[in-house]
Amino acid sequence: MERIWAPWRIDYILGEEKESGCIFCTKPAAKEDDDNLIVHRAVCAFTMMNKFPYNNGHLLVVPYRHVPDICLLEPDENSLLVQEVCRALQVLRHVMRPDGFNIGINLGKSAGAGIEEHVHYHIVPRWNGDTNIMPVLADIKVIPEHLGISCKKLQEGFTKLYPQVSKEEEK
């Protein structure tokens, strides 16, 4: 029998104690981007890796403003948020070369929102043949690259493709 080890998933599977506060507010405020898996910061939004990804390179694009619904953002905030989604797509295309993407927002717990009080986009890169029998039979998803390595690659991708876009320069 082959064994696949993914020890970082156990915290999510067992429902370990959740961090206090909104991670989408506390993580960017901490200024510890590597530890918090933040790959890019822009004026109204930032991009971070999902700590419990559906697939390798699973990103979250989050407005800095704490609101539960995109309809509560100002039009310029929504525009800048979507611009950050587009930057994230381009970086993923450049760094990871996926065949496609799933992109979406889960509004409300019944829609699957894990953090329903702070709206965010999910960007899940997809490759032809990236699914197999493991999730069906064993409820296991194999992520082939360590999050820290993916994080560094994506940070470098943002720096290479968008060196002019930073919190200060985008204003």
CA 102/CA 82 separation, integer angstroms: 15
Q: Which residue is it, tokens 């993923």?
A: 92
Catalytic residue status for 58: no
Q: Considering only the C-alpha atoms of the chain, give the largest distance between any 2 of them, rounded to a whole number of Å.
A: 55
| Given 40, 66, 118, 120, the catalytic residue | 120
Q: Which residue is it, tokens 């429902």?
A: 15
Q: Could you tell me which residues come within 8 angstroms of residue 38 by beta carbon, excluding any fewer than 6 positions away?
A: 27, 28, 46, 47, 48
What residues are annotated to the active site? 120
